[in-house]
Structures are given as structure tokens and as C-alpha cells.
Amino acid sequence: MSKSQAPNKEISGQIEKSELLERLKAWAGFLSEIDQEEDKSELNQICASLVSPDLLEYQDADVKLFVACCAADVLRIYAPEAPYADEQLKEIFMMFVEQLRGLEDIEGKSFKRYFYLLENLACVKTFILCMELDAPDIILSLFRTFFQIFNDRHVGKVQTFMVDIMMTVMQEGDSIPQDVMDIILMHVIQPYKSRKPAAHRLAKELINKSATYMEPNIQKFFNAALMKGLETDSGLHSRVYDLIKELNRVCPSILLAVLPQLQEKLKSSDVNERLEVTRLLAEMFSDKGSELASQNKQLWNCFLRRFNDIEAAVRAECVSTCKNFILNHLKLSDDCYSNLCKRHRDPDEKVRLEAVKVVYAIASEDITRMTPVLCVDTTA
């Protein structure tokens, strides 16, 4: 066994609280020092005691925290197996999720102990065991808890361990439930992006590190959401374009299978749909540092054809986007110059007026971006 000797006093919810805490602290210290290779015969009693109803349902916060830490070390010592039946494991994992809420208050007297629990669960990948149970509610509660409690006061290690645990869950599952996906994705878009910036950062890191595991679910969601008449199980169904825009900023590669669908939407017979997708792609193409146009020439060329759309509102939308391209994306500016010049002679007055406004806006911000052709066309 370990260098220290196993505590010889049993633990039970029937013991007076202060004495129970002392015994749990002794067991916690002892268990934290035990390696997986050591003899486990002395642990039979403590293993059984930890899942007794009187301890799992104990009301004192300190007692519950030490019970959770002891249980986490027991699962570490016995990994990859567990000395518990499935129903007992469910109780343990529900207790873990409940105790992880204690991480929210970094000034709390027990924060270091809560952090110990988080680190233990992350490093041992303990939630692999939970994925072998039929317990979707526990997984949903885990993700919801992390995104609710993570805040600006947490140090980098808290974020790292939270992401590691959630990644473990996504890696081990056959697929990611849509309600779990919704919790992640809702923190990428407004209003959560502004209201909960820390949770937004957590979502961004998780998406970037888990893109391989999330991509099939992302593709499935957008395939359904972008096809008329197909409903999804997601509460974010109505925010599909917002999600595409923000995911393009967070992790462009995760959308590779979705872009062809946007190209088809640009050709839609529905004017409002063409207008929406034109507006969306204009933002995606013109985002600072965006490489979308250079990496997806076919989509960019399809977008440029909307300058000649049969609907004036779509042509005007394209014209209004030229300013951002000409001022911020020099590689794309030549394409925009030629199309903008043509719109000065558009048959629709509103489109022509929009073209003039854009030229003057460009001249006001950076006169060097004005070409002779633009100057002549504007005064013609």
C-alpha cells in the first residue's frame, strides 16, 4: 500500500459532523497518495461507505465535497474499471456535477478542494465511465454547469480542465446530443457573446479543440436547418445564419461541408433567401483577416454574380458591401471595383444612389483607394 497507513475508522452519515469531517479528511489524504498498481484490499470498506445513502444525501457542503473527492480518487485508483454498479456510478457522477458548481466562487474557503476535484476528473478522464452509462441528463447537466459557472476570475487551468472534460465526453460518445450542442453554440452568438464573455471564450476554445468531433453534428444540423421544410431538435433553428457567421470567425474549418449549401442558397428563387445569404456571405468575406474568398473561389464568384441579380434589393445589398472590401481587403478590391462601376448605370435608381454613396464613403475614409474609373463613373 501507500507510505501512510489506511485510516482505521469507518465513515457514516450517522457520525457527528465534526468527527465525520475529520475522518473524511484523513481518508481523502490517504486515497490521494495511492497509485493504481497498489493492493486495493484495504479499500473495500471505504468504497462501500462512499455510496451509502446517508453520505450521498448528506446536507453539509463540506462533507459532500470530501465525499466527492474521495470517490474521485477511488475511481482513479480502480481505473479503468470501477468498484460500483451502474446505478451507484450514476449517483456518484450526479454528485460530481453538483460539487463542481463550487468552482464558481474562487474566493470561497473550499475553492482549492473543488479545483482538486476538477483536476482529478480531467486528468484521469473519469467521465469516460459516465459515457458507458445511460445517463444523458448527467452529461447535459455537466455542460450546462460549466458554462454557467465559468467567469473572468478563473485562471487558465480551470478553463483547460473544463475543456478537457467536455472533450473527453465528446470523444467517447457515438454522437453529441443536440441539447449539448445547443449549450455550446448558444454561447457563440448574441446575446450570450456579449453578456457572458468568459463563457464565449470557453465555447471558442472547446470548438477549436473539438472541431473533429463536432463537425459531423454541425453538418447534420445545418443540412437540416438550411433545407426548407426540415425542422431540427435544436432551439437555435431560427439563428442558423447567425451561427454560420460566428462559427466562421471562431473555427472556419468546421463549416467546410456547409459552404456548398450557402452557394445553392445564393441561387434560390426566393428573393428574401437570396438577400439574407448575400448579406451573410458579405460579412463572412469581409471579416478582418478572412481568407474565405481566396480559399473558396467558387463561392466568391457565385457571390459576385449577385451584383447582376434580377432583384434590385439584392444588387443594392452587394453594392453596399463594396466599401468594406475596397478598404480592408485589397486582394478582393479589383473584383469589387469593376462591379461597383457597373452599378452606377444600374436601371434602378436606388441601386445607382447606393453606388454613389459607397464611392463617396470610400473617398471620405481613404482617398488613395479611389481609382480613376470610380472618379469618372461617379461624375458621369
With a CB cutoff of 8 Å and minimum separation 6, the contacts of 25 are 66
Q: Is the pLDDT assigned to residue 37 strictly greater than 80? A: yes
Residues in the chain: 380
DSSP one-letter string for 186-200: HTTSTTHHHH-HHHH
CA distance 380 to 367: 19
CA Rg, the chain, in Å?
29
Q: Is 96 exposed, middle or buried (0-12, 13-18, 19+ CB in 10 A)?
A: buried
Place of cell 444612389: 353
Question: Model confidence over 251-309: pLDDT tens digits?
Answer: 999 999 999 999 999 999 999 999 999 999 999 999 888 899 999 999 999 999 999 99
8-state DSSP, 82: -
pLDDT band at residue 375 under the 50/70/90 scheme: low
Comparing CA positions, the residue from 188, 110, 104 lying closest to residue 154 is 104
Residue pair 178/221 in contact by the 8 Å Cβ criterion: yes
Other CB atoms closer than 10 Å to residue 216's CB: what's the count? 12
Question: Model confidence over 192-206: pLDDT tens digits?
Answer: 999 999 999 999 999
Q: State the DSSP H helix or E strand holding residue 301, giving kind and residue range, or none if neither.
A: helix 297-304
> Which pLDDT score is estimated for 129?
95
CA distance 122 to 164: 6
Q: State the DSSP H helix or E strand holding residue 12, giving kind and residue range, or none if neither.
A: none
Q: Is the pLDDT assigned to residue 167 strictly greater than 50? A: yes
CA distance 378 to 370: 11
Question: Model confidence over 66-98: pLDDT tens digits?
Answer: 999 999 999 999 999 999 999 999 999 999 999
Q: Which residue has the higher pLDDT, 375 or 105?
A: 105
DSSP one-letter string for 104-118: G-TTSTTHHHHHHHH
> Which pLDDT score is estimated for 1?
44
CA distance 74 to 42: 12
Q: State the DSSP H helix or E strand holding residue 75, giving kind and residue range, or none if neither.
A: helix 61-78
* Cα distances (Å, whole numbers) of residue 324 to 53, 127, 290, 296, 337: 63, 47, 12, 19, 12
pTM for this prediction = 0.90
Q: Which residue has the higher pLDDT, 366 or 70?
A: 70
Q: Which residue has the higher pLDDT, 364 or 211?
A: 211
pLDDT band at residue 364 under the 50/70/90 scheme: confident
Residue pair 346/352 in contact by the 8 Å Cβ criterion: yes
* Cα distances (Å, whole numbers) of residue 221 to 53, 207, 261: 41, 15, 12
* Cα distances (Å, whole numbers) of residue 296 to 40, 150, 275: 59, 36, 20
